[in-house]
Amino acid sequence: MKLVGDKANNYFTNPDNSHTAILIYGSDTMRVALRRQELLEALLGDNAEEEMRLTRMSGSDLRSDPALLLDGLKANGFFPGLRAVFVEGVTDTNSAVIDAAIQDWQKGDAILVLTANQLNTRSKLRKVIENNSNSVAVGIYNDPPNEKEIISIVSRYNLNNFESDAKKDLIALGRSLDPGDFQQTCEKLSLYKYKDESVITSTDINLCAPVTVDAALDEAIHIIAGARSAEVGPMLNRLFGQGVNPTTLCIAVTRHFRNLHSAASHPSGPDIGLSRARPPVFGLRKERMVRQVRQWGGMRLEKALCVLIDTDLSLRSSSKAPTHAMLERAFIRISMMLPK
């Protein structure tokens, strides 16, 4: 039996403990591991390892000793409660052993939980599980989670009291981050708000979100966008001293100005435009960028982008001009476009 959509998502938190085998497969190892962890916790509780109700093995273990699987399923535990055998990294080469174990499975045996990499529709292993009416196969894909899934993840960390904008920011963050990074962010946010009954704000989320851009590089970008021309030279000397490549810096500034230009051109306004950027911009950074969009306007942003693109092409060319001086001149020219 194959589960998809909401049925698949709900199964991980409310699994049927009468099922024989459960197969979770997908190309993203982290996503598969998180779903497997969620499933085992829902099936066995928090103390399964300590109570020896969970047996772990790998697909390679089964290839070297096929009897391991059936022994694990039939073994009697010392503690009461549901038992499971978890086999990691199974492939089609394990399908015959798994099929035989499923056929020999009886009520009272341990549940078989399997994880695998991406399996196509012709996979022997998938056919073994999907053709069994008492077994379940779930494919994990790399699509960003929907709002319902994100809220479900957030609620597990007792994060419920949000400002309306903060909730939108957290949903946007959940769609842009890898699942593991997002769960770590939620855990960090729950610790940050421990015994704090005040509402969660965008500032709180911004403080707990992972840093995706080097702080010094980010500050350099805002020096240029903020028209602080007197600070450009010292800032560049500091970054070049740290080993930042001129082309890398030019690309980062160009990306920032493109985001500003897209936000300035958005029919619903810069605030909505930045929220729909990929990755989305939120919190204090979004407020600062909205101000920059309104200060610059579409025409000036186009002129700044022309300067940046020309500079980028020159940096990548075989020109003998000094790259540091070329970049400094371009940045100062851009930062002086705004009227004082």
> What confidence tier does 116 reach under pLDDT thresholds 50, 70, 90?
very high
- Average pLDDT on 111-138 reads 92
Q: What is the pLDDT of residue 272?
A: 85
Least confident of 40-49, 111-120, 281-290: 281-290
φ/ψ (deg, to 5) at 88 = -100, 140
Residue 193 has pLDDT above 60, yes or no: yes
Write down the pLDDT at residue 254.
Answer: 93
CB 29 within 8 A of CB 179: no
Per-residue confidence (pLDDT) for residue 231, from 0 to 100: 87
Q: Answer whether 172's CB lies under 8 Å from 280's CB.
A: yes
Average pLDDT, the chain: 87
pLDDT at 215: 58
Q: What are phi and psi of 113, to 5 degrees?
A: -115, 125
How far apart (Å, rounded) are the C-alpha atoms in residues 31 and 162? Answer: 26
Q: Which residues are CB-contacts of 98 (< 8 A; sequence separation ≥ 6)?
A: 21, 62, 69, 87, 90, 112, 114, 125, 128, 129
Terminal Cα distance for the chain, rounded: 67
Least confident of 44-53, 142-151, 156-165: 142-151
Q: What is the DSSP letter of 231?
A: G
- Confidence bin at 213 (pLDDT 50/70/90): very low
pTM metric for this prediction: 0.58
Residue 14: is its pLDDT beyond 70? Answer: yes
Cβ pair 135, 102 in contact under 8 A: yes
- Output the CA–CA distances (angstroms, integers) from residue 320 to 144, 240, 309, 324, in the order listed: 45, 18, 18, 12
Confidence of residue 211 (pLDDT cuts 50, 70, 90): low
What are the tens digits of pLDDT across the range 157-185?
Answer: 888 888 878 888 888 778 767 788 888 88
**What distances in angstroms separate CA 193 from CA 182, 196, 207, 235, one per listed residue?**
16, 5, 11, 35
Please, what sign has the CA dihedral across residues 8, 12, 15, 20?
Answer: positive
Do residues 176 and 279 make contact, with C-beta atoms less than 8 angstroms apart?
Answer: yes
Is pLDDT at 138 greater than 90 in this prediction? yes
Q: What is the DSSP letter of 200?
A: B
pLDDT, mean of residues 132-136:
91
φ, ψ (nearest 5 deg) of residue 180: -65, -45
Buried residues in 303-312 as b, exposed as e (16+ CB within 10 A): ebbebbeebb
Q: For the segment 314-323, what is each residue's pLDDT rounded down to a tens digit?
A: 998 877 788 8
pLDDT above 60: residue 336 = yes
Give pLDDT, residue 114.
95
CB 240 within 8 A of CB 324: yes
Q: How far is CA 107 from CA 18, 22, 83, 128, in A?
A: 8, 15, 12, 19
- What domains does the chain contain, in order, with CATH numbers? 2-139 (3.40.50.300), 147-208 (no CATH), 215-335 (1.20.272.10)
Between the alpha carbon of residue 190 and those of residues 36, 155, 193, the distances in Å are 23, 10, 5
Amino acid occupying residue 188: K
For residue 334, the model assigns a pLDDT of 94
Q: CA triplet 94, 99, 102: central angle to 5 degrees?
A: 125
**Model confidence pLDDT, tens digit, residues 237-262:** 878 877 788 898 899 899 999 989 99
Identify the pLDDT of residue 30. Answer: 85
Q: Tokens representing 316?
A: 């990548």
Beta bridge partners of 86: 56, 113
